[in-house]
Each structure stands twice: as C-alpha cells, then as structure tokens.
Structure 1
C-alpha cells in the first residue's frame, strides 16, 4: 500500500502512529499533510532511501525494522543518474515515481517481471525456431497476441515454462525490474548476453536504474524529450499509445513540479 500527500483514512492514521512511535512529532489525524510528508522524508533521509515523501513498502520497512533493504534504490542513485543523463534530479525522481512499479523485487527476492507471450513468439523466430508447435501446445507461453498475464510473482511461473522451450528467448521476452525494461534490448544496452542482463536485474534496484539510464541514452528522441521536459512526448515514446488514456504525461508533469519545488526548498 502506497500512501502520499493528500491521502486520508485509517491507513494514514496507522502510518502516523508508526511515525510517532519512531519519535516524530506529528498529529495522528488520518490526514497525510505537510507534517506527515516531512516526517516520511526524514525517515527516508535517515535510511538513505529516495526522498520522495511517499510512504511505500521500502519506507514502511525502514520505519518498522529500523533498517533499509540493501537492494533498495537510494537518492544518490537518482542523483548520479540525473548527472549522467544531463537532466534535473527532479526529472529522474518524477520518472521513478510514475514509471517505476514502486519496488523492483517481490518479497521473495525475485525481480518484478511481466512475461510477454507475443514477444516470446518473435524471439523464437529470431533464434531460428519454429514457434507454431509451441503456440499450439502452450498458447499462454507462445502466442501471436499479447495477454495471458498471471500478474505478480506468478509471472515467474510463466517464465519457467518458457525456459523449458528456449532459455535466451524466455529471458528476452520478459520486462524486468523497476522500469520494466524488456530483455530483448540487452545488445543495444551494452550487456554481453540476455543472461548478463538478467543477472544485473537480479542484483539490486540501482542496477535496474542503470538499465533504464542505458535505455534512455540509447533512445535519442526520448532522451531529448526528457531534457526539455516534454512530458507528453516522453510518455508517448516510453509508454506507447496508451500514455494519454492513463494520464502518464500529466502525472509525470505533476510529480516533476512537486519534486522540483521540494528540492528548491531543501537547497
């Protein structure tokens, strides 16, 4: 459950009680206002997490356990990514907030993935393998249409089935990590193999961010859109035609403004 500024209700009240127990002087009123957000940012700062003011699983874990997940993304990671791409830190923070899935790993430790059966069909063809028999036998693993998603950790069950057909094609047919980078991009992103790419995606969220940075760097028009803060063009290129339906561009713009304003105040 992700809680952020403007939210209200018993979940916010529970968060506030946890913050008070941790020593933060805030009201327990069930309203996620400025004081609650400031307390959340302090928890994030104390544990080296991304300073977005959003109480997600990683922040709640740090609050409850007093320690942060070693695989979690850090604010420094975002700062370094912004410097490398030549954009504002608020820009990368906005993309991380809207385009990432909040966590690059399941509680089991497995990276977040989404297996694409229609991509599996294409990758089998690219490896010189006839996909037709597999499509007839396992249409949920090999198909000419997208779909068949199980969601969550169960996507790994589909991936294991795809391994039985062809391991490299299977690795290339899933999107991986925080930013859901497709495995078949591995050559253009500078990885030695699909296996090397997936090994990196299993490492930590910083490695997943690195894949995103490589992806943006390789895509010149997308990189240019990010630099000029053209959220509509960036969202169209990153998310495809569905960007407008899901308001990705307006959500990115709003997140950028919020992070930019906070960074100005902090400076």
Structure 2
C-alpha cells in the first residue's frame, strides 16, 4: 500500500498555495475519498471518453463508442461493487484505449488523489506526458505537488485565484468550474467542496 498524505504534506501544499490546509484537503476528499491508489497500488483513475474523442479527432467513435464520444456522459464509467472494483475496470478501459492510441488515452484519464487530467501534464509541471504518468504512480505526495503546480499555473493561475476566493467568501462555484468544468453542477462539486472545507 502506498503511503497516504500526512498533515505535514497538506501543510506544505497549503503554504505553497497560500490557503489553509483544509482547502487542499477538501479537494482531495471530494476527488478521491479513498485516496490516490487502490489496494493493488494502481492510481485511481477515471477514463473520460469525451476527452479521448477530442484528443483523437473522433476517429474511434464508431469503433469503440463506449470509449470515444463527443459529449460528456457518465454512462460508460465502470461499474462494480466498490471503488476498488470500479478502478480496476477503469484501468481496463484505459488499456483498451491505449491499444488504439496510447498518448491520447493517457491524456484522457484523470489521475490520482486529485484526479488530474493527463492532458494537463505541462500545467502540472512536467516536461513530458510520461513524466506525469510516472509521478502519478510514484505516490500521493507526487500527486499533491502536481495539483499545486496545476492550480498555480493552468490558465494563468485562474485556479489559485478561485481557490483563494472560495476560502475568503465561501463561494466554491468558480473553483469547481475551473477544476471540474462548466458541467460541475451536475455532480454538485461546488456544494461538496464547500461541505468538505467546512468539516
């Protein structure tokens, strides 16, 4: 089992971002409540078929409609008795996509304790996609540091501004939209982040 994040880890990240540790913990709690890895040591992932469609120009839509489709849907996410079973099945989905287009597939999954999308590897501080993937397998601390880089640098630091605003005002919607997209309300990410921060 990979080591879990410690209070000291959250404190370091919080100081780096200029927010309370509870803000960083809130994101981690909502994105991966059972941690960044399953018991087999695989990073927790979610394969996003609409991102695979985008990264491959839709050329696999007809061949594998459960892996490549134009618009986001939760319909094809893996199902199973618990998060560990579902994660194993998400890795199977990723492997199927990788057999068709490996870089595009790796970029189309969200990874680890903070569910960072592979296509954002550069904003997470990595020179190559493979460096990002290696870090996602390395441990939760590497995942946490990648999260810090992403929030500070993606889209000109928009995420960090929104995170600080959420802490100051209690309005988590701008951060949730930055982090989870314009459809975040369907999964109530803003409400869940606010609740997790308040615990």
Deviation at 1:198, TM superposition (A): 0.8
Deviation at 1:241, TM superposition (A): 3.8
Deviation at 1:251, TM superposition (A): 3.7
Say if 2:7 is the partner of 1:75: yes
Aligned residue in 1 for 2:67: 141
The structure, 1 or 2, with the larger RCO (C-alpha pairs under 8 Å, 6+ apart) is 2
Deviation at 1:86, TM superposition (A): 1.1
Name the TM-score, length of structure 2 as normaliser. Answer: 0.82
Deviation at 1:224, TM superposition (A): 1.2
Deviation at 1:77, TM superposition (A): 1.0
1:114 aligned to which of 32, 46, 60? 46
Does the 8 Å contact 1:101/1:179 carry over to 2? no
Over residues 54-103 of structure 1, what are the superposed CA-to-partner deviations in whole Å (9 max), with x where a residue is unaligned?
xxxxxxxxxxxxxxx44311111101000111112222223322333331
Name the TM-score, length of structure 1 as normaliser. Answer: 0.62
Once residues 191 and 54 of structure 2 are traced to their aligned partners in structure 1, the CA distance between those partners, rounded to angstroms, is 33
Does the 8 Å contact 1:117/1:141 carry over to 2? yes
CA RMSD of aligned residues (A): 2.1
**Equivalent runs, 1:147-158 vs 2, <5 Å:** 147=73, 148-151=76-79, 152=86, 153-158=88-93
Deviation at 1:238, TM superposition (A): 2.0
Which 5+ residue runs of structure 1 have no aligned equivalent? 1-68, 126-130, 259-267
Say if 2:162 is the partner of 1:225: yes
Does the 8 Å contact 1:71/1:203 carry over to 2? no
Say if 1:188 and 1:249 are closer, same or farther in 2 by CA, change over 3 A.
closer
Aligned residue in 1 for 2:110: 175
Once residues 187 and 91 of structure 2 are traced to their aligned partners in structure 1, the CA distance between those partners, rounded to angstroms, is 26
Tell me the SS of whatever aligns to 1:144. Answer: coil
Aligned residue in 2 for 1:56: none
Over residues 38-64 of structure 1, what are the superposed CA-to-partner deviations in whole Å (9 max), with x where a residue is unaligned?
xxxxxxxxxxxxxxxxxxxxxxxxxxx
Once residues 256 and 146 of structure 1 are traced to their aligned partners in structure 2, the CA distance between those partners, rounded to angstroms, is 27
Over residues 156-199 of structure 1, what are the superposed CA-to-partner deviations in whole Å (9 max), with x where a residue is unaligned?
11111111111111110111011111000012322121111111
